[in-house]
Amino acid sequence: MPFIETGDGTRLFYKDWGSGRPVVLIHGWPLDADMWEYQQPALTEAGFRTIAYDRRGFGRSDQPWSGYDYDTFADDLKALLDRLDLADVALVGFSMGGGEIARYMARHGGARVSRAVLVSAVPPFLLKTADNPDGVDPAVFAGMIEGLKADRPHFLANFAKTFFGVGVFSSPSSSELIAWTGDLAMRASPKATVACVRAFGETDFRADMGRFTVPTLVIHGDDDQTVPIGVSGKAAAAAIPGARFVVYEGAPHAVPFTHAARLNEDLLAFLGR
């Protein structure tokens, strides 16, 4: 299996398909690169070189005890782009993967990147604070951590229902597909799974938003119960210079699955077939 090594010696697994202009797909929590089940084949068949990698601690990548913060994640992304010597790169980040893009644009000046896409992404700042009153109550993240530590499989099975909008959204996703995402989630280390809740829940990306200097597409479902659109997608689109904002009406968090065909079309239109 192909791996690159980061600055601290952590090996990251990646899938590198096709040829053409590169598109790097950054997965969400608590999944891994395989979550791009519908996007990576479609983009590759459309003539792009697609690279999807497992974040440290997840999937087939190494599971170190440390490094679960967005500065390190951005450095890991840089290591991937540098090691593969990619240029004219489009970054596509889902959920917490959007945080990697935001921090990379600020920390590494957007080197090698020509376009960015945030899908159901966590920036600019999820946590409710005095200066972010519409954010998510800290008790929500504390409860997630408590649930993960007590019974991770049970917590993740229930989390998937909210993720897919089960009971709220008329999801085309089968019970088998939803169960499969739970299998992906359980490949991650318990340390990474818990630490990343703190990372995506508490990291403030507001200062990073102005560092987007490339065409940027923001896509978000307006019935997202996992990452609420008002504090995330809507706020990110307003803060990123020139960003294009596309709202998926009635869509839950899991749009790469529930709205796969529409997302693929929007990605292809934005990236240029």
- Ordered DSSP codes for 139-182: HHHHHHHHHHHH-HHHHHHHHHHHHHTTTTS-----HHHHHHHH
Q: If 0-12 CB within 10 Å is exposed, 13-18 middle and 19+ buried, where does residue 181 land?
A: buried
- Section 56-84 average pLDDT: 98
Q: What is the pLDDT of residue 159?
A: 95
H/E stretch holding 211 reads: none
Span 231-248, pLDDT tens digits: 999 999 999 999 999 999
Q: What is the pLDDT of residue 197?
A: 98
Q: Would you call 193 helix, strand, or coil by DSSP?
A: helix
Span 160-170, pLDDT tens digits: 999 999 865 55
Question: Superfamily for 3-271?
Answer: Alpha/Beta hydrolase fold, catalytic domain (3.40.50.1820)
Structural domain spans, the chain:
3-271
116: its two tokens: 């960015």
- Section 14-25 average pLDDT: 98
- Which are the catalytic amino acids? 95, 224, 253
Quote the DSSP letter at residue 27: P
Quote the DSSP letter at residue 20: S
Kindly report the average pLDDT of the chain as a whole number.
96
Q: What is the C-alpha to C-alpha distance for residues 193 and 187, in angstroms, rounded to an integer?
A: 10
Global pTM? 0.97
Q: If 0-12 CB within 10 Å is exposed, 13-18 middle and 19+ buried, where does residue 58 land?
A: buried
pLDDT above 90 covers a percentage of the chain that reads 96
pLDDT band at 273 (very low <50, low <70, confident <90, very high): low
Q: What is the C-alpha to C-alpha distance for residues 145 and 68, in angstroms, rounded to an integer?
A: 15
**CA 50 to chain CA mean position, Å:** 15
Q: What is the C-alpha to C-alpha distance for residues 112 and 115, in angstroms, rounded to an integer?
A: 10
- Section 242-269 average pLDDT: 97
Span 133-175, pLDDT tens digits: 999 999 999 999 999 999 999 999 999 999 999 865 555 789 9
| Residues 160, 213 contacting (CB under 8 angstroms) | no
